Amino acid sequence: VQGPSAAAKLGALALVIRSAGTSDDRVAHTGALNYAIDAPRIPAFALSNPDADLLARRVSTDKQVRLRLKSTARELPATWSANVIGEIPGRERSEEIVLLGAHLDSWDLGHGALDDGAGVAIVIEAARLISRLERKPARTIRVVLFANEEFGLSGAREYAKHLGDEASRHVLAMEADVGQGPVWRIRSQVAPEALPAVAAMQEVLQPLNVELGSNDASGGADIGPLRTMGIPVLDLSLDASSYFDVHHTVNDTLLKVDPKILDQSVAAYAAAAYLAATKQGDFGRLTTAGE
């Protein structure tokens, strides 16, 4: 992230890094880049792991190694995009909101099937399943598909900024943004008195092989601004074993999605959202802003 500016201050003309991903294919995960204000804006490149291995061996054995670099990357001006929001109105306490989030945009190299098409599919399908139940949950379930998660979280920040008195009526927020799953853990950041309710959720999720985690959940990148406002959050942790083989690379396409895995994730999100939206009493308020 800081590498290009640090290198530029030392006189570098460009920076080349090893892929930030785990794939052994010839595709690179570029990582992300923030230019410092006080350094020349030099181009940065990422090499796939096999190519980085080759270069490392050349550097270790040859007197001189030359790389010819060509970047076609451009920074385009800002443009308009929008959060997309839908709701299942609550049966009794419709002014209270359980938020299910995901994000609409994808990283430049990726098509976004896993990041975050899978997350969008999970939260929409979870909400659809709930909408078809005869007995709707007491609270409103709000699905928020955030704009621009990847390039600065502006959708998430704008959402939080314009909440007004709705902020106090958000009882819980969760996001799906680590690929398709399966969900393997439920983790919370809620007021201590609400922890038994989280444990009860885990019991319901137990048949899906979801274990109980600690009370230090982040909620997800788009949920961050809500969490810092004191809104409790839940993580349904998605299995990321192979996520970094794919995400933010050209390989993030639909062929990587397994409908059976997605089904498990949808079931877990639907159950957790329903239980949260039906629970007697809320999840309290976070008094210290979590990480």
Q: CA angle at residue 19 from 291 to 4, to 5 degrees?
A: 75
Annotated catalytic, 166? no
Determine which residue in the list 247, 248, 256, 279 makes contact with a second copy, applying CB under 8 A. 256
CA 88 to mean position of chain CA atoms = 23
Q: Which two tokens stand for residue 226?
A: 């809500």
Q: Which of 48, 112, 101, 107 is nearest to 257 (CA)?
A: 112
Q: What are the beta bridge partners of residue 143?
A: 86, 100
* Selected range binding a second copy among 50-58, 70-78, 95-103, 206-214, rule: CB under 8 A: 50-58
25 near a second copy, judged by CB under 8 A: yes
- Closest distance between a second copy and the C-beta of residue 178, in Å? 20
Tell me which of 96, 149, 150, 175 is the catalytic residue. Answer: 149
In order, the DSSP letters of 33-59 are ----TTS----EEEE-HHHHHHHHHHH
- Closest distance between a second copy and the C-beta of residue 69, in Å? 19
- Computed on alpha carbons and rounded to an integer, the radius of gyration of the chain in Å comes to 21
24 near a second copy, judged by CB under 8 A: yes
Q: Which two tokens stand for residue 46?
A: 């990422």
The residues in 118-177 that bind a second copy, with binding defined as CB under 8 A, are none
Rounded Cα gap, residues 218 and 210, in angstroms: 18
Positions of E strands within the chain: 15-18, 44-47, 84-88, 93-103, 139-146, 170-175, 183-189, 211-212, 233-238
- 10 Å CB burial of residue 84 (0-12, 13-18, 19+) is middle
58 near a second copy, judged by CB under 8 A: no
* Selected range binding a second copy among 74-82, 90-98, 148-156, 248-256, rule: CB under 8 A: 248-256
* Selected range binding a second copy among 22-30, 127-135, 162-170, 224-232, rule: CB under 8 A: 22-30
56 near a second copy, judged by CB under 8 A: no
Amino acid at 220: G
- Closest distance between a second copy and the C-beta of residue 245, in Å? 10
Site string for a second copy, 200-239 (x = CB under 8 A): ----------------------------------------
Shorter beta-carbon distance to a second copy: residue 180 or 189? 180
- Closest distance between a second copy and the C-beta of residue 246, in Å? 9
Binding positions for a second copy, rule: CB under 8 A: 24-27, 49-50, 53-54, 111, 250-251, 253-256
What residues are labeled active site? 149
